[in-house]
Amino acid sequence: MIQTLRAKIRPVLIGLALSATITLPAQAAGGAAELKDVDWHFSGPFGSFDKDALRRGLQVYREVCASCHSLKFVAYRNLGDAGGPALSEAEIKAIAAEYEVTDGPDSEGDMFERPAEPKDKFVPPFANEQAARASNNGAYPPDLSLMTKARKNGPNHVYSILTGYQDAPEGVEIGDGMNYNPYFSGGQIAMAQPLFEDQVEYEDGTPATVEQMSKDVVEFLHWAAEPKLEHRKRLGFKVMIFLIVFAGLLYAVKRRVWENLH
C-alpha cells in the first residue's frame, strides 16, 4: 500500500519541481520589483487633487517630459478647468502661444502655421512616429495622456520607475542603449533617467528633489488621465446619500404597510 502511494505521489512531485524550475528563470528574466506605495492626495473616496502639486507637475512636464512625450488628449484650455491646475486665462494663453500649430486651409487652399491657442491640444514634440523614433534611437516615447490609467496601480508604477534608476547589480548585463531599473519589466528600460536633483526650479520654492518632482508630475499626469475625478467622487457621494435616505424611506413604508395589515 505504501509503495502504491509513493508511486502516485512521485509524478506529482516531479511535476512541481519542473514547474518551479521553469517559473523561477522566467520571473528573473521578465519580472519587476514590488512598486513603491505612495500616499496620493487623490486616493480614497474623498481624495482630491493637490492644486499646488498639479502646477508643479505641469512645470515638470513642460520643462522635462514634453521634450519627448506628447499629451495629445489634453487641450491648453483644460488647464483652467475646475479640479485641475486652475491656471488663469492669461497664463493659459501665454503657454499656448509658445507653440505653433498647422491650420487651414486658407482662402487659397493652403495650410499655414499659427501660434497655438487655448482651444488647441498640447503640441507634440515630434511631427510623427518616424521622427520620434529617429530622435530616440528607434524607441517610440509613448503619449502620457492616459499613462497612469494604462496599468494597474498606474500612479505608483510611474512614480516607481521615475525614482527607480540605479546602477545594475553585479552580474547583470545591460543591453546597448538600455538603462537598469528594477521597477520596469525585465529590469531594463530604453528611457534614460529623466529627473535629477534641482533640475527644475519650482516657482513656489519647493525643493526639487527627484522624489518631489516625480510625485508632482505623476499627480499632474493622473489629472490629465482623469480630469473629472473630483466631480465623479462628489457625485458618487451624493448618490450614496440618496440611496441611504431612499432605503430608509422604503423601510419605513414597508413597516407602515405591514403594520396596517396586522
Q: Which residue has the cell 493659459?
A: 92
Predicted confidence at residue 30, as pLDDT, reads: 55
d(CA 89, CA 128): 30
Query: Given pLDDT bands bounded at 50, 70 and 90, which one contains residue 232?
Result: confident
d(CA 19, CA 187): 23
Q: List the grid coordinates of 123.
A: 503640441
- The type of residue at 62 is R
Per-residue pLDDT reduced to its tens digit, 236-256: 888 989 999 999 999 888 888
Give the pTM.
0.82
Per-residue pLDDT reduced to its tens digit, 123-133: 999 999 999 99
